[in-house]
Amino acid sequence: MNQHRQTGLTLIEIMIALGISVAIIGTMAQALALTSDGYRRAQTLSAMQEQADVALRYLASDIRMAGHWSVAGSARHIAGRSLPGDHNAASLLLPSRCDPRFVLDLAVPVDVSNSPKHWQCGIDAAANADVLVLRGLGAAHATPLPPRLQVVAAPGHGVISDSADVPPHFVGPVQRHNLAVYGYYVATESSLFPDQPVLRRLTLSSLSSRPYVVDEEIAHGIETVRFAVLVDEDGDGYADLTRQPQDPRLRQRDGDGAPLATVVGVQVWLVVRSDTAGWTQEAQQTLRLGDQTYQPPTDGYLRFVTHHTAWVRNSGGLLRDTGTAAWSSCQH
């Protein structure tokens, strides 16, 4: 009699097979999760970099035009600017929001400070960030647009004007430019993106009846900003050293109220923060922003530091050995 042996899987073999299957599935799930997390991280960092690029484009463009006085040649030759002891020498109609020097201190085209109250503009600025004001003339020729503050300039002299009149003593070719004043600061919360810090810009403009300062958002996710200025000490067009906003030598003036330090460039450091938290964080390292440090909180947000050096127009943009003056990096 033939006997047929039935074959099959034993319980132990089934358990081993199930264990292997679970391990394979677990590995695949983990790899998929890592891939998904890596993709989400890359997308987040890309969005952060985009905001940093926007901020730096605005800053670099405005820094470049600071101190441009057209055919007047120098702020010293422009009547109506702030003078020592007389912040509004021509009794011009000015924005009510800020101290007159915010608009009229033309002798200081690049004005940096580590105090958000420096220009008395009533801004709600982050305490751990620097502020920057840039003054100059718009590049394009302008038509009279009262009460917009403009500079009427002829070779070697000019005057701040809020009317369409040309001073009768002006001779030769006359040019008219809008007075350009920008103030950069960081606010702790964006009005467009809740719970997000934001880089904001004050811009001199006008309403129908008087000059006006517009306060606009430039780039969200900018948690702090630090500035340092590159100074030409000997008049050769080269940056000889770097000075920080708190350096008292930046406040030293001559008899006309012009700073003794000639700023030829501005270094900018931005700390950029992600839109959302929930990221697994390593121990946060102290970030270097020039010669200063920044200790970010361990709160689940991604951050990185980016740096840029922008040159002031007609300064030459020439760099001698200034230590940290020309480096650029990101720290994730």
Tell me the pLDDT tens digit for each residue of 124-151: 888 889 999 999 999 999 999 999 999 9
Supply the pLDDT for residue 2. Answer: 52
Contact 297, 286 (CB under 8 A): no
Across the chain, mean pLDDT equals: 85
Report the side by side order of strands in the sheet with 241-243: 241-243, 222-232, 262-273, 303-311
* pTM, rounded to two decimals: 0.83
Q: Which two tokens stand for residue 119?
A: 């220009």
pLDDT at 232 over 50: yes
Residues whose CB is less than 8 angstroms from the CB of residue 150 and which lie 6 or more positions away in sequence, other chains included: 142, 144, 160, 161, 162, 176, 177, 178, 179
- Which stretch of 118-127, 228-237, 303-312 has the lowest confidence by average pLDDT? 118-127
Structure tokens at 30: 């983990």
Structure tokens at 203: 């811009």
Residue whose C-alpha is closest to residue 206's, from 180, 243, 245: 180
| Predicted pLDDT at 326 | 32
Q: How confident is the model over 32-42, as a mean pLDDT?
A: 71
Dump pLDDT digits (tens) for 311-322: 998 654 444 433
- Binned at pLDDT 50, 70 and 90, residue 34 comes out as low
- Mean pLDDT score, 34-60: 88
Token pair for residue 173? 């070719």
Per DSSP, the three-state class of 97 is coil
